[in-house]
């Protein structure tokens, strides 16, 4: 006999993460801050991880009065053992922390390449490794990897960032395959250029790399391939992350949720 169909409620309900513990990396600013606030608003106890202590203090102050809580954790993700330990006992893991340097390959400092891969690929692996035993034990978990359109497309002068994001896509899919029998989903969110300090820094770097004034970088470089000629806001990315934690997304795993303003439609 065919099992009865389990149909969702006719209307989506608000995200409720009451009783859940979430960990968000790079939480002191930008996308990470927006994600931490969004998950705390849904009732989660959020471990906000960043190496920026002042930024975490400001985040904690901003989170006063939310349904959940924000707990600042100062951590440098190049300390991989500490990163893995920090993820123990989490129900939701958001791998967001990142850094960027724009240079031609022949001028790219090898030590920076190593650091980018450590923070943006090896640290997510260790965080996932630390989180999975608890998730598997309870039969439920949500892993969201904040990738990028650069996880799907390459750009010149960003060898480390593109390599890390492409690797993160593969790690996320492997996690999805292994986690499926245990009730754990793993997905990527792939935004285009987001209005963050990281992108603001890139504008000056891109101006130097391309030999054009900074005021032309946004329209002629960053948004050249985007159908929507604006930056995406961190809060928009956070809503996509929240959706992947919702009951309505329980069948979505191993996917890349693209928020690129039509960039990859070309």
Q: Which residues are marked as active site? A: 161
d(CA 118, CA 79): 9
Lookup result for tokens 């792939």: 190
Do the beta carbons of residue 18 and residue 43 sit within 8 Å? Answer: yes
Compute, in degrees rounded to 10, the torsion defined by CA atoms 207, 29, 105, 210. Answer: -10
Instruction: Name the nearest CA neighbour of 84 among 172, 75, 44.
Output: 75
Q: Which residues of 244-255 are buried (b: 16+ CB within 10 A; e: fewer)?
A: bbbeebeeebbb
Give kind and range of the element (H or E) at residue 22. strand 21-25
In whole angstroms, give the CA distance from residue 41 to residue 58: 16
């Amino acid at each position: 006999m065919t099992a009865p169909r389990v149909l969702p409620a006719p209307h989506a309900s608000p995200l409720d993460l009451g009783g859940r513990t979430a960990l968000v990396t790079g939480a002191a600013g930008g996308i990470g801050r927006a994600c931490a606030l969004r998950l705390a608003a849904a009732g989660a106890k959020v471990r906000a991880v960043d190496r920026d202590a002042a930024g975490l203090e400001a985040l904690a102050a901003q989170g006063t009065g939310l349904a959940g809580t924000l707990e600042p954790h100062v951590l440098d993700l190049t300390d991989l053992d500490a990163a893995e330990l920090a993820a123990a006992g989490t129900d939701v893991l958001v791998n967001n922390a990142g850094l960027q340097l724009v240079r031609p390959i022949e001028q790219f400092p090898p030590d920076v390449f190593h650091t980018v891969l450590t923070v943006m690929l090896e640290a997510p692996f260790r965080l996932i490794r630390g989180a999975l035993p608890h998730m598997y034990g309870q039969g439920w978990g949500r892993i969201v990897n904040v990738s990028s359109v650069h996880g799907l497309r390459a750009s010149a002068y960003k060898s480390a960032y593109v390599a890390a994001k492409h690797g993160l896509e593969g790690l996320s899919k492997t996690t999805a395959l292994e986690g499926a029998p245990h009730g754990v989903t793993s997905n990527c969110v792939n935004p285009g250029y987001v209005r963050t300090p990281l992108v603001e820094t890139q504008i000056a770097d891109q101006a130097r790399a391309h030999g054009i004034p900074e005021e032309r970088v946004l329209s002629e470089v960053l948004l050249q391939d985007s159908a929507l000629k604006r930056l995406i806001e961190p809060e928009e990315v956070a809503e996509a992350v929240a959706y992947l934690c919702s009951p309505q997304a329980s069948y979505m795993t191993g996917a890349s949720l693209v928020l690129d303003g039509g960039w990859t439609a070309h």
